[in-house]
Amino acid sequence: MAKKVLKFGGTSVGSIDRIIRVSKLIQDETKKGNKLVVIVSAMSGKTDELLSLSKSISKDFSDRELDVLVTSGEQVTASLLAGALNKLGIKSRSLMSWQIPILTEGKHNNSRIINMSTDKINEYLNNGEIVIIPGFQGISKIGDLTSIGRGGSDATAVAVAKLLNTDSCEIYTDVDGVYSSDPNKIPVAKKIDKISYEEMLELSSLGAKVMQSSAVQTAMMYSIPLHVKSTFTNREGTKIFTEKNIDYSKVVTGVAYSKNDAKITLLGVQDKPGIAAEIFEPLGNARINVDMVIQNVSSDSKTTDLTFTVKREDLEESLNIIKNNKKVHVKELSHRTNLSKVSIVGAGMVTTPGVTYKMFRALADEKINILAISTSEIKISVILEEKDTLKAVKKLHNIFELD
Ligand code: ADP
Ligand code: ASP
Ligand code: MG
């Protein structure tokens, strides 16, 4: 007998038929004698719909009320699934985050789970019940509902697995596992059987939304193995765990992309010590994450040009901060949003020279212009024009032998 966390994403619980299907999958698990805690997302599309409802009331809808609203989708699916299990004759109950409670800290709309009481859950499990918990939802120290960031049901699953010390954490979704690239966009993408936390963390931070990156980070920190698999097929799925269990026959494991970036260019900035700090300090204070930075060599030793990227949602605030920064004089400030970031990720890169060259050559062969570059030990990211995204992903997928 094992104690397991099973998490079902939005598509998996996206209709009554699908919820019934999930209830049967859970029934099979109970027949094996397992104790189950189930985490559910809202029906697919629901969270976006709730967000847009708030915008139709006001674009300054309060953060507190927004969390009450957006976390309601998970309440609906938790109760429907418990009802579907009851109909099969299986004892089950939903427990909202405030009933458990699941405690979070941080800002509304982007909180973080810090603790959870396990007493009630263990009591119900010992009584042979299946406990259904809404993902994405928590409560703050003062008892307000909070949400933990988009895709956050993954993070709920990992946190619950850790705090309940379960034997496994299974993430059921609408694809068979983690692929070498998004299988819905790159049909030749291949399923990966095993992947390290580090690679998965890079892939998900760089756009592979199959796992939420903060969930992977928590799993890595506490060595919680994850198993990503499909609600709709019986294929084996993908295991995410520590690196030593993995054989790297390929240099690159996956290609990810996102359309979340914006580029800011400062032309004619004074070229003197401390100027970069003056520019980036107020951005840091505003909690704006600067990703890639490029500074040109000064041609006249007096001024230089500086380009950097931020998340699109931070663009307006970043521009305002720079315009209002009295310590920095800029001849011209420009920005672009119709960009994408394409990245190759692979632990095999550490020991293989020439990967950067191979990537740049492949993009050049496709006449794709690179606007910015950043690298780490196991990834290379480039900023491109948005229109070139899929062409670049397909080419890189092909030349790194992932097709
Ligand atoms: P869920 O609702 O189950 O959490 P998500 O929509 O958040 O599911 O994530 C699953 C989706 O992630 C897939 O449908 C797929 O289009 C997308 N995806 C992006 N990159 C990858 C990848 N490398 N491997 C698998 N799926 C990916
Ligand atoms: N429903 C939330 C979202 O759409 C959380 C999740 O699905 O994981 O972001
Ligand atoms: Mg998801």
Q: Is the CB of 182 under 6 A from ligand 1?
A: yes
Q: Whole-angstrom Cα distance, residue 162 to residue 114? A: 11
Q: Is the CB of 10 under 6 A from ligand 2?
A: yes
Q: Under a CB-based contact definition with an 8 Å cutoff, are residues 260 and 312 in contact?
A: yes
Take atom 6 of ligand 2 and give the residue whose Cα is closest: 151
Give this prediction's pTM: 0.94
The pLDDT of residue 300: 77
Q: List per-residue pLDDT tens for the chain, 403 residues long.
A: 899 999 999 999 999 999 999 999 999 999 999 999 999 999 999 999 999 999 999 989 999 999 999 999 999 999 999 999 999 999 999 999 999 999 999 999 999 999 999 999 999 999 999 999 999 999 999 999 999 999 999 999 999 999 999 999 999 999 999 999 999 999 999 999 999 999 999 999 999 999 999 999 999 999 999 999 999 999 999 999 997 766 677 899 999 999 989 999 999 998 888 999 999 999 999 989 999 998 887 777 789 999 999 999 999 999 999 999 999 999 999 999 999 999 999 998 888 889 999 999 999 999 999 999 999 999 999 999 999 999 999 999 999 999 9
Check the CA dihedral 158-164-165-168 and report its sign.
negative
Residues with Cβ within 8 Å of residue 152, at least 6 apart in sequence: 135, 136, 212, 214, 215
Q: Residue 173 burial by CB count (10 A; 0-12/13-18/19+): exposed, middle or buried? A: buried
Q: What domains does the chain contain, in order, with CATH numbers? A: 3-174 (3.40.1160.10)
Which secondary-structure segment (H or E) carries 295?
strand 293-295
Q: Whole-angstrom Cα distance, residue 122 to residue 131? A: 9
11, 49, 136, best to mutate for ligand 2 pocket (most atoms within 8 Å of CB): 136
Take atom 15 of ligand 1 and give the residue whose Cα is closest: 182
pLDDT digits 0-9 by tens, 344-378: 999 988 888 899 999 999 999 999 999 999 999 99
CB neighbourhood size of 287 (10 A): 9
47, 170, 182, best to mutate for ligand 1 pocket (most atoms within 8 Å of CB): 182
Longest C-alpha distance within the chain, in Å?
A: 79
pLDDT digits 0-9 by tens, 141-159: 999 999 999 999 999 999 9
Query: Which residue intervals of 234-369 are DSSP H helices?
Result: 275-285, 315-323, 355-365
Residues with Cβ within 8 Å of residue 34, at least 6 apart in sequence: 1, 2, 3, 4
The Cβ-side half-sphere exposure at 91, using a 13 Å CA radius, reads: 7
The pLDDT of residue 245: 63
Q: Is the CB of 178 under 6 A from ligand 1?
A: yes
**C-alpha angle 371-377-382 in degrees, rounded to nearest 5:** 15
Q: Is the CB of 152 under 6 A from ligand 1?
A: no
Ligand 1 nearest-atom number relative to CA 184: 16
Q: Is the CB of 181 under 6 A from ligand 1?
A: yes
Task: Sheet containing 92-94: give its strands across.
Answer: 92-94, 130-134, 35-40, 3-8, 168-173, 226-230, 238-241, 194-196
47, 133, 216, best to mutate for ligand 2 pocket (most atoms within 8 Å of CB): 47
Structure tokens at 142: 């003062």
The pLDDT of residue 243: 74
